[in-house]
Amino acid sequence: MLWIKSLHIVFIASWFAGLFYLPRIFVNLAMVPGESVAERQRLILMARKLLRFTTILSVPAIGFGLWLYLGYGIGKGAGWMHVKLLVVLLAVGYHHACGSLLKKFVANANTRSHKWYRWFNEVPVLLLTAAVILVVVKPF
């Protein structure tokens, strides 16, 4: 079980590293002047590659978590685990939202400012903080 926990932590950290950086690319994209086509294309390429890599990392992160929950019964029936599972769903939703926002940048249909993306960039920090506190402290 400790191997599964270790792999779960490694893939969660890797997945969230992508979720921390991808919106930062969006901040830069939102600041690119209209005439800077090459810069915009370079940032879109970076964002596409990072989203693809981050998506790949999310699969084993969630898979190992499910293995711990379903296979070993970690947290089954506990209130903190129900809230943690909600946090995981929110993280998956955030990941999906990043993909939708990237599609808007690709279509040149972004309507949000770089300031909005700076705030959007803080969401995964809050989600990861909540998940770690729930797992370590088990407040209920």
pLDDT by residue, tens only, the chain of 140 residues: 999 999 999 999 999 999 999 999 999 999 999 899 999 999 999 999 999 999 999 999 999 999 999 999 999 999 999 999 999 999 999 999 999 999 999 999 999 999 999 999 999 999 999 999 999 999 99
Convert the chain into a string of H (helix), E (strand) and C (coil): CHHHHHHHHHHHHHHHHHHHHHHHHHHHHHHCCCCCHHHHHHHHHHHHHHHHHHHHHHHHHHHHHHHHHHHCCCCCCCHHHHHHHHHHHHHHHHHHHHHHHHHHHHCCCCCCCHHHHHHHCCHHHHHHHHHHHHHHHCCC
| pTM for the whole structure | 0.95
